[in-house]
Amino acid sequence: MNVVEFLKENDQVSKWLNIDVVEAKEGYVCTQMTVRKGMLNAAGVCHGGVIFSLSDYTFAIASNIYGNVALAISANINFANAAKEGDVLIAKAKELNRTRKLGIYVITVERESDNKLIAVFNGEVFIKSESILKR
C-alpha cells in the first residue's frame, strides 16, 4: 500500500467530505470535492471549515507522500471568494521547501467551472523519522 492509498483509507474526514485525489506526486498534489448542501453555512455558502479541511487533506498528502510522518505545526487560510452548492472545488498543493525536519506548502483552491480563486492555504509540517505506513 502506498501513502496516498493509506491516507484515502484511513482519513475519515476526507471520506465524509468525499474528496477525490486527482494527482499525487512528490512536490505536487491535486484533489477535488463537490460542495453539498450539508456543507453550507447560514449565509448559504460553503463553510470555511470545509474549505480548510479540503486544503488540509491536500496538504497532508503532499507532506506525507515521501513516506515519513509529517504533522502540521502551522496552517492558515485566506478566503478570496465564496463557493456555493454544486461547485466543484480543485485544491492544488505545491511544495515550496522541504528539509529533513520541516516542509512548507501552499495550497490554492479554485472553482472548477471558471478557475476563480476561492482560498489560499499555507502550511508548515514537522517531519518525523517514522514511516506513515507503520501507524
Sign of the alpha-carbon torsion through 121, 9, 30, 48: negative
Q: What pLDDT was estimated at residue 1?
A: 77
The answer, as to whether pTM is greater than 0.85, is: yes
pLDDT above 70: residue 135: no
Q: What pLDDT was estimated at residue 134?
A: 80
Chain segment 50-94, per-residue pLDDT in tens:
999 999 999 999 999 999 999 999 999 999 999 999 999 999 999
What whole-number distance in Å separates Cα of residue 30 and Cα of residue 37? 23
Greater confidence (26 vs 1) lies with 26
Q: In residues, how long is the chain?
A: 135
What whole-number distance in Å separates Cα of residue 56 and Cα of residue 33? 13
Domains and CATH numbers, the chain: 3-131 (3.10.129.10)
